[in-house]
């Protein structure tokens, strides 16, 4: 699923027990993460129902333990694990399960995803993971993989136009092309550029045009 689809599903209240946000475009990951977290914590206190971890810095047992914690005065508990790729290269501990089988952290997450706790929303975030990993295969099959890949350069002007519209401005096609050429393909940087332009133009002047030669 695309980040846009994930955001729409979250906004409509269709919350999955596990989400895997994977891809090199940080802005798309952050937007999907924010939307899912906001929807899952709606009506509850974030400070009582939100756990944030970083792979490689937190034992997998602590992460899985957090998923089993009952929400407090809320419908959902949110557990976020960032930088999942730190476990992709075999980093991190392999833990012994009750049946004696040692599994690396990513495989333990895959086992959890097969039978997740419904009252918990586990959000896994990664820049890049090996497509052969069980968690990736399971996420594709289970429909909880959100692909946050870098946007094709040909699509950047259209993204700029849509983003400017969301900020309350119309913008001409040639201006979109110019910004895309000058600012480059990184969406986070482009979004920052558009925010600065939005503040400069102001809501009183809602359109952006290329200056005329006499200007």
Average pLDDT over residues 65-72: 94
CA angle 63, 137, 6 (to 5 degrees): 70
| DSSP secondary structure of 7-21 | HHHHHTT---SEEEE
Q: Which two tokens stand for residue 67?
A: 């998923």
pLDDT tens-place string over residues 9-21? 999 999 999 999 9
Cα–Cα distance measured from residue 122 to residue 112, given in angstroms and rounded to the nearest whole number? 10
Residue 205 pLDDT exceeds 60: no
Alpha-carbon distance values, 212 to 176, 194, 196, 209 (Å): 16, 21, 21, 9
Q: Which of 195, 170, 193 is nearest to 180 (CA)?
A: 193
Helix (H) or strand (E) holding 136: helix 134-142
How would you class 209 by CB atoms within 10 Å of its CB: exposed for 0-12, middle for 13-18, buried for 19 or more?
exposed
Neighbours of 212 (CB within 10 A): 6
Residue 200 pLDDT exceeds 90: no
Cα–Cα distance measured from residue 119 to residue 14, given in angstroms and rounded to the nearest whole number? 13
Neighbours of 117 (CB within 10 A): 17
Residue with tokens 């949110």: 78
pLDDT tens-place string over residues 139-194? 999 999 999 987 777 777 777 788 787 777 777 888 787 777 777 677 777 777 77
């Amino acid at each position: 699923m695309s980040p846009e689809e994930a955001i729409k599903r979250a906004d409509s209240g269709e919350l999955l027990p596990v989400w895997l946000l994977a891809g090199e475009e940080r802005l798309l990951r952050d937007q999907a993460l924010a939307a899912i977290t906001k929807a899952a914590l709606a009506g509850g206190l974030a400070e009582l129902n939100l756990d944030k971890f970083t792979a490689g810095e937190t034992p997998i047992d602590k992460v899985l333990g957090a998923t089993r914690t009952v929400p407090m005065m809320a419908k959902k508990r949110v557990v976020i694990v960032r930088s999942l790729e730190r476990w992709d290269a075999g980093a991190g501990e392999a833990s012994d399960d009750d049946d004696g089988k040692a599994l690396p952290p990513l495989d333990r997450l895959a086992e959890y995803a097969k039978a997740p706790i419904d009252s918990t929303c586990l959000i896994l975030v990664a820049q890049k993971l090996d497509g052969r990993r069980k968690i990736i295969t399971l996420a594709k099959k289970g429909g909880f993989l959100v692909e946050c890949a870098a946007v094709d350069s040909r699509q950047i002007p259209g993204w700029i136009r849509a983003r400017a519209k969301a900020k309350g401005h119309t913008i001409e096609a040639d201006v979109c092309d110019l910004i895309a050429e000058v600012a480059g393909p990184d969406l986070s940087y482009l979004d920052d550029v558009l925010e600065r332009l939005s503040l400069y133009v102001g809501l009183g002047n809602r359109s952006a045009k290329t200056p005329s030669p006499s200007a």
